[in-house]
């Protein structure tokens, strides 16, 4: 079985989609995976083997490569087809790579095309390519965006939120929800030792990161863009006690703006920007923290939340996009602030069995601060959230389970 993957970006560029491809392909043996992607950097090889996939990069190695990918990717796939005779086309996300996938499907209609949706932005965000013009978006962007939906035989989505988008854009294609997963062994902390480095306890990790014993640490791992709400998180810090510190892991176009915001609030001593951190190093930072928070404005799913749960952190997030698929907070604020208990055993049991995190309001720094303070003041709540979330991750988000589900979709002979 030969499977051709189109992805606009791939390793060493790391995001949820790129990690999903690597984790899934590595767990499906006896299948040949060929991946075509944009090159983006001149120093990157045009061909290399990464795990279980042969990776071909097209383009001269500039930021313009993604715009060349529909044509160059299709041409590369046509040449490789003569050698490999692909059985299945897998398009990761509806982006520039998916246009090449749609072209290839048109040339070889007998091949099954599977589209996987991982998008964190609303579709309207695509208007940025035409300066926000609705008319130009509908004339120049949306037809190309919908091309892969029209030709897809099967669609998978990482959340129910994205599954609804798939059904709207491709009402005749079957849709399956298959979330992203997590390498639990990599993120789990056992017997107060870091699984990443068994020689370091949580106390030693905090010391290494310059965290004082009395400090309480909120951490976020995020690309620094508007949709991830990191500016709201910075603005929440003045509403929290002085011993609450914030660690921001990630880079992006708003990094300078957020640093200036932190300075304007005189928070330089309480907020630390770590920049880009390699994915394999994330667990030790998570193990040194107390709470994970990313108050997103939009979110396809959010693998970072699942990773934080696997690392044993309680999560504060917004009820947007695909987040409600895994973050369950069935109780009202008044019930939570009343220590989550009443005379009703049914209410108590419902909380104990289901709650996996706390929701804050979108673009509301006060709400963020209140939920962080609630977790810091209520040990029983925090421990129950961690326990429930960890159990959920094991049962639903382990990469082996996810790869098995994706394998069934890719290798099924059903086309539509």
Task: Categorise residue 312: left if φ over 0, alpha if ψ from -120 to 50, beta otherwise.
Answer: left
Give the separation between CA 212 and CA 415, rounded to whole angstroms: 57
The alpha carbons of the chain give a radius of gyration, in whole angstroms, of 22
Overall fold of domain 184-396: Rossmann fold (3.40.50)
CATH superfamily, region 2-180+399-411: Glycogen Phosphorylase B; (3.40.50.2000)
* Alpha carbon distance 182, 398 (integer Å): 5
pLDDT in tens, 135-191: 998 998 899 999 999 999 999 999 999 999 999 999 999 999 999 999 999 998 754
Per-domain boundaries in the chain = 2-180+399-411, 184-396
Q: What is the pTM for the complete model shown?
A: 0.88
Encoded tokens for 220: 């976020």
Query: Average of pLDDT values for 379-383?
Result: 93
Judge if 2-180+399-411 and 184-396 fold alike in CATH terms.
Answer: yes
| Tens of pLDDT, residues 281-303 | 999 999 999 999 999 999 999 99
- pLDDT the model gives residue 396: 96
Q: Partners of 272 in the beta sheet?
A: 247
């Amino acid at each position: 079985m030969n499977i051709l993957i189109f992805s606009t970006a791939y390793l060493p560029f790391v995001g949820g989609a790129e990690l999903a491809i690597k984790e899934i392909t590595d767990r499906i043996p006896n299948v040949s995976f060929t991946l075509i992607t944009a090159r983006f950097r001149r120093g990157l090889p045009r061909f290399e083997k990464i795990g279980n996939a042969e990776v071909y990069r097209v383009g001269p190695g500039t930021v313009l490569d993604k715009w060349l990918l529909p044509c160059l990717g299709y041409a590369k796939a046509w040449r490789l087809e003569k050698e490999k005779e692909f059985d299945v086309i897998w398009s990761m996300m509806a982006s520039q790579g998916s246009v090449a996938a749609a072209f290839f499907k048109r040339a070889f209609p007998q091949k099954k095309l599977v589209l996987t949706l991982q998008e964190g932005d609303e579709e309207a965000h695509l208007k940025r390519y035409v300066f926000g013009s609705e008319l130009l978006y509908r004339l120049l962007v949306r037809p190309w965006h919908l091309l892969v939906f029209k030709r897809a035989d099967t669609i998978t989505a990482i959340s129910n939120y994205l599954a609804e988008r798939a059904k709207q854009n491709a009402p005749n294609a079957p849709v399956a929800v298959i979330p992203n997963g997590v390498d639990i062994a990599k993120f789990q902390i056992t017997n107060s030792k870091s699984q990443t480095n068994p020689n370091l306890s949580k106390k030693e990790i905090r010391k290494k990161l310059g965290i004082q014993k009395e400090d309480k640490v909120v951490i976020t791992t995020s690309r620094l863009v508007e949709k991830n709400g990191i500016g709201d998180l910075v603005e929440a810090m003045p509403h929290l006690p002085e011993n609450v510190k914030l660690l921001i892991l990630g880079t992006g176009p708003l990094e300078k703006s957020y640093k200036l915001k932190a300075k304007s609030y005189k928070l330089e001593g309480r907020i630390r920007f770590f920049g880009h951190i390699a994915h394999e190093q994330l667990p030790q930072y998570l193990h040194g923290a107390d709470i994970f928070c990313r108050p997103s404005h939009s979110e396809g799913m959010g693998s970072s939340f699942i990773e934080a749960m696997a690392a044993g952190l309680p999560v504060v997030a917004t009820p947007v996009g695909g987040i409600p698929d895994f973050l369950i907070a069935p109780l009202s604020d008044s019930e939570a602030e009343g220590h989550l208990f009443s005379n009703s055993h049914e209410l108590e049991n419902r909380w104990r069995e289901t709650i996996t995190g706390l929701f804050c309001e979108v673009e509301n720094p006060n709400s963020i601060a209140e939920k962080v303070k609630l977790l810091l003041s209520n040990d029983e709540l925090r421990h129950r959230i961690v326990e429930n979330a960890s159990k959920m991750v094991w049962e639903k988000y382990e990469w082996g389970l996810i790869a098995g589900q994706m394998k069934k979709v890719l290798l099924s002979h059903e086309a539509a």
